């Protein structure tokens, strides 16, 4: 019987590659997007594409129901992936902005996962895969909002894995680093809405650093990998009989994991503060 997977955030980048890659491996893929126009585009490519907006509880329920109606009430795997950034210094980050990014990057994931767990319990098996980040392992200047959501996902996922250890449900983290995607471009509207950098005490640092990174594409990162590198890890996570609890993807992620094990917090701070 063909296995089924629901993937969120499929309009571009990691989600889009995962949708194509898993379909090529024989999976029935439900490639969800936040915007209806992106769902329509994917449907034109032959995908089943429910509209799921993590900030809208009603769309989470209706999107999942669409999947369950198509499968007869079952789902083999969920890949929580959709997320966005909100660059800026923590002192310039309004609480409203932090709340919004948590809705999209954390609370919505939790809501969808909670709705999926009873289905997987009933069928006796399932895989819940969370797309975290190297920034779920170490912090990074100017990325406090995104780092906070990924640290939260890491903790929630580790706890959920322990709680579901005696079930047939496997809970897995994927931790990419620099991956070819549109996350930089997609974060610009949130930056412009929430960060008043012109009146910041750090204005000169915005002008010399963050604004250039945000608005001026300098080409691929030194260690950047294509989104297919994440799809490879996802395939192992959902197809292996004994999936790993976490999968590192890029060189920076392996380095970050190593640094956390062998260096003090003070030493890691010295390294990352100058990045």
pLDDT digits (tens, 9 = 90+) for 71-125: 999 999 999 999 999 999 999 999 999 999 999 999 999 999 999 999 999 999 9
Residue 220 pLDDT greater than 80, yes or no: no
- 16-21 LR contacts (CB < 8 Å, sep 24+): 16/227, 17/226, 17/227, 17/228, 17/230, 17/231, 18/79, 18/81, 18/227, 18/230, 18/231, 18/234, 19/47, 21/228, 21/231, 21/232, 21/234, 21/235
Q: Active-site residues: which are they?
A: 146
Confidence bin at 221 (pLDDT 50/70/90): confident
Q: What pLDDT was estimated at residue 222?
A: 83
Banded pLDDT at 259 (limits 50, 70, 90): confident
Nearest Cα neighbor of 135 from 147, 123, 126 is 147
pLDDT the model gives residue 79: 98
H or E element, residue 185: helix 183-194
Strand boundaries in 117-214, DSSP class E: 126-131, 169-175
Class of the CATH-defined domain 4-273? alpha beta
Going across the sheet that includes 77-80, the strands are 28-31, 4-7, 77-80, 126-131, 169-175, 246-248
Neighbouring-strand partners of residue 171: 128
CA torsion through residues 145, 216, 248, 50, sign: positive
Reported confidence tier of residue 275, pLDDT bands at 50, 70, 90: low
Predicted confidence (pLDDT) per residue in 185-207, tens digit: 999 999 999 999 999 999 999 99
Beta-carbon neighbour count of residue 95 at 10 Å?
8
Distance CA 19, CA 38 (A): 13
Give the list of residues 6+ apart from residue 117 with CB closer than 8 angstroms, or none: 126, 128, 164, 169
Residue 217: Cβ-neighbour burial (10 angstroms; 0-12, 13-18, 19+):
exposed
**For 143, which DSSP code?**
B
Band (pLDDT 50/70/90 cuts) for residue 269 is confident
Q: Can you give the pLDDT at residue 202?
A: 97
Q: What is the mean pLDDT of residues 230-258?
A: 96
Q: What is the pLDDT of residues 125-168, one digit of tens each?
A: 999 999 999 999 999 999 999 999 999 999 999 999 999 999 99
pLDDT, position 27: 98
| CA distance readout (Å), 152 to 42, 46, 135, 255, 269 | 30, 35, 11, 21, 20
Tens digits of residue pLDDT in 28-67? 999 999 999 999 999 999 999 999 999 999 999 999 999 9
pLDDT of 210: 93
pLDDT > 80? residue 274 = no
């Amino acid at each position: 019987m063909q296995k089924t997977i629901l993937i969120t955030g499929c309009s571009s980048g990691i989600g889009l590659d995962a949708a194509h890659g898993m379909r090529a491996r024989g999976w029935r893929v439900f490639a969800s997007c936040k915007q209806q126009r992106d769902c329509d585009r994917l449907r034109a490519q032959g995908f089943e594409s429910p509209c799921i907006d993590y900030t809208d509880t009603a769309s989470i329920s209706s999107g999942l129901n669409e999947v369950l109606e198509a499968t007869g009430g079952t789902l083999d795997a969920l890949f929580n992936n959709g997320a966005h950034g909100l660059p800026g210094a923590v002192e310039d980050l309004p609480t409203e902005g932090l709340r919004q990014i948590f809705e999209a990057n954390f609370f919505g994931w939790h809501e969808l996962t909670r709705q999926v767990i009873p289905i997987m319990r009933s069928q006796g098996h399932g895989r819940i895969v969370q797309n975290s980040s190297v920034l779920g392992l170490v912090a990074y200047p100017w990325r406090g909002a995104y780092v906070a959501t990924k640290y939260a996902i890491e903790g929630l996922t580790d706890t959920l894995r322990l709680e579901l250890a005696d079930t047939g449900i496997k809970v897995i983290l994927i931790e990419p680093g620099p991956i070819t995607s549109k996350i930089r471009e997609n974060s610009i509207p949130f930056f412009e809405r929430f960060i008043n950098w012109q009146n910041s005490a750090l204005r000169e640092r915005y002008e010399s650093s963050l604004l250039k990174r945000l608005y001026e594409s300098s080409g691929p990162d030194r260690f950047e990998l294509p989104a297919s590198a994440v799809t490879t890890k996802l395939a192992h996570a959902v197809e292996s009989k004994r999936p790993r609890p976490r999968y590192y993807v890029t060189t920076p992620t392996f380095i970050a994991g190593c640094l956390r094990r062998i260096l003090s917090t003070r030493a890691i701070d010295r390294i990352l503060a100058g990045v």
